[in-house]
A and B are shown apart, each in its own frame.
Chain A
Amino acid sequence: MKRFDALLFGVVFVVWGALALMYATIPMIQMPNSFRVWGLGAVLFLVLTLLTVLAGRGRGNE
């Protein structure tokens, strides 16, 4: 599958984003600061997903 690499990074983005949201909003877990790291990580994997999709449309692949 041509976009499989991007799909996997997309899944990582979704999981990390959900965890960051959970850490930020559920006080019982006591991880209030960590949402910044995992949240920024989620953004980073979103960027990686988009880059991988764009790269898949490279010059020779069209």
Chain B
Amino acid sequence: MLAGLVSSESNYLGGTTVLYDGNPTLLNDDPAEGQLFYSGYILLSAGLFLVATSAIATALRPKFNGVIESWSPISFATVAWSGLLLVSAIAAANAFLPSLLWTFGLRESVSGYTMGWSVLFHNMHYLPLMATVILWYVLVENVTGVKSIFGQNFSKIVFAMYLIFVPPTSLYHLFLEPDLAETVRVVGSLLSLFIAVPTILVFLIIVASLECHARAQGARGLFGWMKSLPWDNPAMAAVGMATVNMAFGGVFSMVLIQEKLAVLLSDTFFVPGYFHFFTVGAVSLTFIATLIYIIPALTEHRCWRPNILSRLPYVLTTGLVLFGAGGIFAGYHGVPRRIFDLSYHVDDPVEHIDAPFVWGTLMGVVGAGSLLMTIVLAIYAYALVRMLVPVSGEIGVSLENLRVVLWGGSAIERQRAWIGPLSVCALVATMYFFTALSFEILESVPILGEVGGH
């Protein structure tokens, strides 16, 4: 994988024109320019294949040896995730091997590249998402001791559902293809709604299990039980905010993958606006929370200043809300993405374009959010390095002294658990509201287009 990374990145030193998606049509003038790039991607996919194979072999071994009869939900989910990684490695080979052979003159030019890339791109969305949700499951059990009240098999069914729903939902990546049949667009829009089902179910399992256990410990009130969770633990705070950010991202992703809206919004700043809720707010935050546990466990160092680390997720989420709100509304107003000149100013002999005033205001909000996020991530990076490297006079708390609650194994009897279902109802209502709002706003696109000079 390292060789693949070096090979693909070193290609850029030669000034090649191919982009991260490896579209070979950009190399028509000189195919040999892409040799290192595609070699790198193929090496990377081979590395991913081997990593996933070793993970599956590790999980199978105790079964073969008769140590266990059945996997825990986390082991099962890890094997399922590794299976998806294996398929993604195959998808990468399917997308890039023909181009690699073409750059070495071993075959004719490549056709059907977009389809191969779309399948790989689809898997690349759900690998980190599924990994994040598995880690929520692990971290929550670590800081509360709570296992699913619905039983192990139900959790396994939910994790298997990721694999059931991933392939048929890939159609929405093709919405920008002009010759896609209308029936397929409609079916693709409907299928795309199912992709959120497993994530919502895992959220329900975790929240309902926590609420029942908290109430069994004497917690009261519709929201009051949440106060008994160990929010001073950096992992708990991070997982809590990661679920909130995942919900924000989920709402707007459902807006974007409707086929009528996808065409209008896909090339605007709407996409970075909503996607950072997933990438930074859910995935990165969860992985950082996991590292906060893993690094001290491996190094036997202390957890650096948990009182600071447990507050960072809230600051990060504030930054994300600024970035996301600014970016999404900028997208509605037609601010493009994939552009280097943030003045959006065009001044050449043929045409003169000044961006609408509101673009600058909204992108200023995006900038403020970015600044907050950058500061938080820099502090996290510093903390992780401090936990990794031995420093004299260590500051912090040993891992076993981080605040946790021990609710595991306690009898919970019959309890109410309303927050999970209510959250899902609120999520669906918000999706509906923003989808309707998006249609309303985008009806004015031609007028905004004239104002913007596009």
Contacts and interface: CB of A to CB of B under 8 A. Distances in A.
Contacts of A29: 171, 184
B65 A41 contact: no
A32 B115 contact: yes
Contact of B83 (A30, A37, A44): A44
Given A33-B115, A41-B90, A60-B66, A1 B153 contact: yes
Interface string B106-145: 0000001001101110000000000000000000000000
Nearest to A2: B69
A56 to B, nearest CB: 6
A11 B164 contact: yes
A25 interface: no
Nearest to A1: B153
A36 B112 CA distance: 13
A31 B70 contact: no
Contacts of B170: 31, 34
Given A52-B63, A58-B66, A33 B112 contact: yes
B135 to A, nearest CB: 20
B325 to A, nearest CB: 36
B180 interface: yes
Is the contact region of chain B dominated by helix, strand, or loop, or is it mixed? Answer: helix
Nearest to A19: B167
Nearest to B112: A33
B167 A15 contact: yes
Interface string A34-62: 10111011001100100110111011111
A47 to B, nearest CB: 10
Contacts of A55: 60, 63-64
A58 B167 contact: no
Interface residues of B, number: 42
Contacts of A59: 64-66
Contacts of A19: 167-168
Interface residues of A, number: 36
A37 B84 CA distance: 11
Contacts of A11: 160, 164
Interface string B48-74: 000000001000100111110111000
A48 B87 contact: no
Contact of B66 (A9, A32, A45, A61): A61
A53 B279 CA distance: 37
B181 A12 contact: no
Nearest to B84: A41
A52 B63 CA distance: 8
B65 A60 contact: yes
B76 A5 contact: yes
Nearest to B163: A12
Contact of B164 (A12, A32, A44): A12
B445 interface: no
Given A8-B156, A48-B56, A52-B63, A30 B181 contact: yes
B167 to A, nearest CB: 5
B86 interface: yes
6 nearest A-B residue pairs (beta carbon)? A60-B66, A55-B63, A58-B66, A41-B87, A8-B160, A59-B66
19 contacts: A4-B156, A12-B80, A19-B167, A30-B180, A30-B184, A31-B174, A34-B116, A34-B170, A37-B116, A37-B119, A37-B120, A38-B119, A38-B167, A41-B83, A52-B63, A55-B60, A56-B69, A58-B64, A61-B69
